[in-house]
């Protein structure tokens, strides 16, 4: 036996659209993370002389260290982008769909 509230939500075309958009957005961000991470790994594996370049004369800081740190910043930024979109768009639309389904069920 299924819950009528859940059935109303699943039948709502806005819900299907929300699920598609959220999945597409999350997939895009995940692919960006994978590309950046594996790009760095491939750079380390196949071009170690590039990551060994010093950032400036006499420095112990290399391009590899800077790129590794930049990855953390990039991944935090992507997390912020996702949370911002989820809080401002996805959650509001989801709440509206649930509220409409509750009215139909009552």
Q: Beta-carbon neighbour count of residue 50 at 10 Å?
A: 13
DSSP helix/strand/coil, 1: coil
Q: How far is CA 12 from the centre of its chain?
A: 25
Please, what's the largest Cα pairwise distance for the chain? 73
Q: Is 50 within 8 Å of 30 (Cβ atoms)? A: no
pLDDT tens digits along 70-94: 999 999 999 999 999 999 999 999 9
**Within the chain, which residues score under 50 in pLDDT?**
1
Q: Which helix (H) or strand (E) holds 10?
A: helix 4-11
pLDDT at res. 34 = 97
- Residue ranges covered by each domain of the chain: 4-105
Q: Beta-carbon neighbour count of residue 11 at 10 Å?
A: 11
pLDDT at res. 106 = 78
pLDDT at res. 53 = 95
pLDDT at res. 1 = 47
pLDDT at res. 2 = 75
CA distances from 10 to 7, 16, 68, 69, 89 (A): 5, 7, 43, 43, 19
Instruction: State the DSSP code for 12.
Output: -
Mean pLDDT, rounded, of the chain: 94
């Amino acid at each position: 036996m299924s819950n009528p509230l859940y059935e109303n939500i699943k039948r709502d075309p806005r819900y299907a659209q929300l699920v598609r958009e959220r999945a597409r957005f999350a997939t895009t961000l995940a692919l960006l993370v994978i590309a950046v991470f594996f790009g760095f790994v491939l750079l380390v594996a196949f071009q170690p002389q590039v990551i060994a370049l010093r950032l400036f004369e006499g420095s112990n800081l290399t391009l590899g260290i800077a790129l590794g740190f930049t990855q953390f910043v990039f991944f935090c930024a992507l997390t912020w982008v996702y949370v911002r979109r989820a809080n401002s768009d996805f959650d509001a639309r989801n709440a509206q769909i649930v509220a409409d389904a509750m009215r139909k069920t009552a």
